[in-house]
Amino acid sequence: MKQPDLGKKITELRLAKGLTQAELAQKCHLSLRTIQRIESAEVTPRSYTVKLIFQCLDYQIYDSFGKFTYRLDRLAYRIRTGLGQFYKNVLDLFNLKTHTMRKITILSLPVIATILLFLFIGTESKAQNRDKIIARIATQNTQFSEWFNTGQFDSLGMVYLQNACMIPSNYREIHGRENIKGYYSFLYASGFRFTEITSKAIIITDSILVDRGVWKAGQMTGTYLTQLRLCKDGKWYIENEMSNE
């Protein structure tokens, strides 16, 4: 063990034993001045002297376990020293009387980094959520065509809110889920069948979704504008709808 670590270690062990420098010197049969000079790192003692001091302090540094203990102690000392210096540096950062702008810049960096991280996570999450909603609307449009073309009007009605409003092409307003089902039943009986329903643009907010697209029925084509609302069950239901041939 080299100085000044040796002197610090001896001082630490001596104090742990509750010994004064004079008492340690008497126990080791050394002079008080020798102990003082070793502890203050003024001299590097001979290996025999070091072994004698450690034996008197019950610290077995030269056997295999002692060497391992020394390494652990040295590591602990370095950690304590490093943490102490880090703590002082942190406290100094908050002292804005000196190097004010530099310290403000350093203190601001973690805050800025945290804000950017949350913005990135939020943007990534919103993008993923939007993709899922668009995929769900595409599936719903496909199911809508299938239900209508097979006369499943009860299933068709369940995509609408109870108080939904619908304005078909060249037709008066239709209010309520049951009346909308009745209109689709009439349309089905007239031989109308969907061949395509495709979204062209979707606008999404927290609870409102607007879907604009086109529909085809044989040689007939048209556009639609649908407003859906997100309900407590996590599903989107049609609240208002317009269609133009």
Are 81 and 155 contained in the same domain? no
Residue 151 carries which DSSP code? T
pLDDT given at position 138: 86
pLDDT tens readout for residues 7-32: 888 999 999 989 999 999 999 999 99
Same domain, 179 and 133: yes
Between 52-61, 69-78, 105-114, 203-212, the lowest mean confidence (pLDDT) is in 69-78
Q: Is the pLDDT of residue 200 over 60?
A: yes
- Please state, in angstroms and as integers, the Cα–Cα distance from residue 170 to each residue in 26, 45, 165, 176, following that order: 114, 107, 15, 19
pLDDT tier for residue 185 given thresholds of 50, 70 and 90? very high
Same domain for 145 and 194, yes or no, is yes
The residue from 44, 70, 92 where one domain ends is 92
Residue whose entry in the numeric block shows the structure tokens 């980094």: 113
Question: What pLDDT, in 10s, does the model give residues 88-144?
Answer: 766 665 565 666 666 566 656 666 777 766 666 555 555 557 788 888 888 888 999
At CA 85, angle to CA 84 and CA 90, rounded to 5?
100
Q: Tokens 């304005």 appear where?
A: 167
When divided into structural domains, the chain yields a total of: 2
Which residues 6+ apart lie within 8 Å of 20 measured at CB?
Answer: 14
Q: What is the pLDDT of residue 162?
A: 93
- The CATH number of whichever domain residue 236 belongs to comes to 3.10.450.50
Q: Are 10 and 52 in contact (CB under 8 A)?
A: no
| pLDDT band per the 50, 70, 90 thresholds, residue 65 | very low
Count of CB atoms situated within 10 Å of the CB of 39 = 21
Structural domain that includes position 49: 5-92
Q: What is the per-residue pLDDT for 98?
A: 63
Has residue 157 been placed in a domain?
Answer: yes
Asked if 81 and 136 sit in the same domain, the reply is no
User: Amino acid identity of 172?
Assistant: R
Among 65, 92, 119, the domain boundary falls at 92
> Is residue 60 scored above 90 in pLDDT?
no
Report the C-alpha gap between 97 and 209 in whole angstroms.
54
Percentage above 70 pLDDT, the chain = 75
Joined tokens for residue 93: 């950062």
- Same domain? For 141 and 83 the reply is no
Quote the pTM value: 0.47
For residues 72 and 177, state if they share a domain.
Answer: no
pLDDT confidence tier of residue 46, bands split at 50, 70 and 90? confident
Identify the residue whose tokens are 């102690």.
73
